[in-house]
Amino acid sequence: MRTTMLALCAALLAAPVPAFAATPYAAGAAAEHKPLPPTQRLERRFLQITAGNLRFQAEASRLAAQRSNNPAVKDLANTLLARQQTAQPELLRLLHARGMAMPLMANEHGKVLKQLSKLNGAKFDRLYVDEVVLRSYQADITNYEKVATQAEDPVLRAWVDRQLPTLRFHVAKAGKALPNASLRGQRAV
């Protein structure tokens, strides 16, 4: 038995080594890696930001559908949830086509969700409409418009062109749900 083990070990050592085993994975991958062109980096960054925002908007809208006493805000939340259900599978396909996964929410989104979970009534409605719908959607619109003009991927551009009118409609609907809502501190990400 001992001689057969020695013979087996000798045979394994004498066997030819595949070419990929000679080069460590990380070194081989780094040598073959080429930086992405700027437009592809823009598209990938846009998809990451959009996916994180969509997740945040959906979570906040679920809270609003449960906690708001204002029928207009509840209707707005249900409208945003309906958009999320149609946009998320399409967004996932765009992410997966690039080898990307759905990202987590940004820390600032987690903070807003935590604030929302502590509020009720008119204060909840105000924060939800101001931060989730107006601020977040306005930043989304700015990013979508930028990608619509600069993206090279025709599938991504078509998706962005389909989403922009919906985003604008939701911002207008939020203005009607709470007429005194503001767009304080808006910025594109």
pLDDT tens digits, one per residue of 89-112: 999 999 999 999 989 888 999 999
User: Percent of the chain having pLDDT more than 90?
Assistant: 61
- Burial (CB < 10 A; 0-12, 13-18, 19+), residue 19, is exposed
Which helix (DSSP H) or strand (DSSP E) does residue 69 occupy?
none
Higher pLDDT, 26 or 130: 130
Query: What does the pLDDT average to over 110-127?
Result: 93
Q: What is the pTM of this model?
A: 0.75
Which range (15-24, 123-132, 163-172) has the least confidence?
A: 15-24
Q: What is the pLDDT of residue 110?
A: 93
Residue 87: alpha-carbon gap to chain centroid: 11
SS3 75: helix
